[in-house]
Amino acid sequence: MKRKDYILSSLFLLTVFILAIIKIEDTDTWTHLSFGRWIWENRSIPLKEPFITTSAPFPYNNWLFGFVYYMVYHFFSIYGVILLKAITVTTAFFILLKDSLRPHRNIFVSIVILALVVIISRSRFVERPDTFLMIFLPFSIFSLNAYVYERKKYIYALPLIHMLWANSHTSITLMFIPFISFIAGGILQQYLNKRFSSESNGEIFSCTPSRDQMKTIIYIFILSFFASLISPYFISQYTVSFGALNSDWWKQEILELQKPAWKTMKYPFIIAPSVILLFLLNLLSSKKRGLQLPSLIHLIIILPFLYLSFTAMRFIFLAAIVSGPVVARSLSSLFNATKFKDLTSGPFGTIIAILVLLIYPLLILFLGIGER
């Protein structure tokens, strides 16, 4: 990476860190801290609601998150909690940035797209398990991409990552989507490559795992699943979310579980068609130029999250963080095919990137864009 790219990347991550320094307003924060304190004081995980007199089972399914946050609160007060949240969010966007730069290394496009992702997802910069999810899910996708593109070995950390995820948040069910996408999409691309490619043009699709890579991905998938069961919740961590999401009471009383409507939340109605249209444009452009087509694996990954963004407002930020790197890759590929390639990679692109880094935080801080 060029020195200029390091500087722009650092400036972008600095803006994310600053935007994540937000005073605590989400009341769920105190619930998580209270459970974390109970775990610390009792050296166990509560199987019943410990704060309200009831005999009904009430498992706290985010014990590791609550415990970690309470430990920080215990030793560093509430300011440590806010700082931990900011570091966690910044780490998530560091992973997204790294994934966005593969394989075209277009820092201009990556910063512009991820700045939009920050705007869309900033309402989730809160002291809740969602921030851990913002690391676990992008890292899962990033490590799989790194393994297929560059044979880097981050993938071997996934069983441990998914064990931590299963003990931190019920969103562990989302672990299946990247693995299944790479396995199913990989099989499909291998078939299409074998059916339509020739020695002269090579493989048709980019990011196609080899047979050996597919075996490794399947082994890691199996190990990750069994590692995720090393948890007080065992298999129930995979089922508890469905009860809440299918409950009419929860969907009625909790705003973030309600379906988005155009009048109140336009993001999913803009994100979904934009992402799919851009993917199709990149597909047609690559075919016209005789280049490798964009990976179907990435399309398969983003489709479930685009669907989820229409089911509840809570999931809109997931569609944004998963789609961000895919959109950056598609745009970078399109720019490479036009006269704009030199503009985006030269001084003009650097100036625009700097302007974006100066303007988008101001839009958030002073105009409230991206706020709940």
User: Rounded to 5 degrees, what are φ and ψ at 198?
Assistant: -140, 170
Directed axis angle between helix 347-367 and helix 107-121, to 10°? 10
What type of residue is 264?
T
Query: For position 56, what pLDDT does the model report?
Result: 53
Query: For position 341, what pLDDT does the model report?
Result: 62
Contacts with 328 (C-beta within 8 Å, 6 or more apart), sequence order: 100, 101, 106, 109, 110, 113, 114
User: Rounded to 5 degrees, what are φ and ψ at 80?
Assistant: -65, -35
Query: For position 39, what pLDDT does the model report?
Result: 93
Taking the C-alpha atoms of residue 368 and residue 281, their distance in angstroms, rounded to an integer, is: 33
Query: For position 32, what pLDDT does the model report?
Result: 92
Query: For position 368, what pLDDT does the model report?
Result: 67
Mean pLDDT per 10-residue section of the chain, whose length is 372 residues? 84 95 88 92 81 62 93 95 96 96 86 94 92 96 95 96 94 95 95 75 82 96 96 83 62 73 88 92 85 90 95 91 93 74 68 86 76 55
359 three-state secondary structure? helix
pTM of the model: 0.91
Residue with tokens 């998150």: 65
Query: For position 60, what pLDDT does the model report?
Result: 74
Query: For position 249, what pLDDT does the model report?
Result: 57
Taking the C-alpha atoms of residue 257 and residue 254, their distance in angstroms, rounded to an integer, is: 6
Query: For position 253, what pLDDT does the model report?
Result: 59
Distances (CA, A) of 177 to 44, 144, 293: 32, 12, 22
Query: For position 229, what pLDDT does the model report?
Result: 95
